Amino acid sequence: MFNNLNKFKHMIPTISKSNLANLILCVVCVVLFCMLFQKCENENLQLANVDALNSQLTTYKLKNGQLVTSGKTLSYTNAQLKNSLLGKDKTLKQVMAKFAKVQSVTKYVTTTKFDTIAITYKDSIPCIFERHDAVFHQWYSLGYKSNQKGITITELSIPDSVAIVTGIKRKWFLGKQTQTIDITHANPFVQTDELQHIEVVAKPKWYETTLFKVGLGFLGGFLIAK
């Protein structure tokens, strides 16, 4: 039995002190390089976030005349998101609490405006009169003029604030994960009728595949053994 054990020990490759020192040096160099790379990435990300915060919205027109609003995006960790103004928003906090993992948060403010809406009566009222007035409400405001011929609504304005959260939901800790998007309107008179959200999944690079990582592990183990 002891003879077999000795034979087995001889079969196990040994690592010389010089090879071990080289291996440790390589590992230290790789770790330092990764730390430096990560630091540069974080600094570039912070600069991009500052630039996005100071940037202005831009608009452009499509061929069909529709206006498109464009803005730069922010990249936050979960901790940074919770400490940001969006993370402190009470409505957003309630929506985000429904997610096991939050992937993106969007909030935008809109104002729907109509300059003039004229409604003419088919039959005129048999008396001459004219009245002007205005209505101001938290979620709408308008001016109007009414007379025997009809009513004209002017400066109709409907403000709204929209919050969008995307991420993964599940009913319990080990439950099925569901990719979800939640949208909430601050204006109670506005509702979402249809919704379709598409996540573009990037195909992993060859060096990001599990097969490559396993192969790299075997190769590293073989080189160390030698």
Overall pTM > 0.85: no
Confidence of residue 5 (pLDDT cuts 50, 70, 90): very low
Residue linked to tokens 């409400």 = 137
Q: How far apart are CA 102 and CA 48, in angstroms?
A: 21
Q: Is the pLDDT of residue 11 over 60?
A: no
* Of the candidate ranges 76-85, 120-129, 202-211, the one whose mean pLDDT is the lowest: 202-211
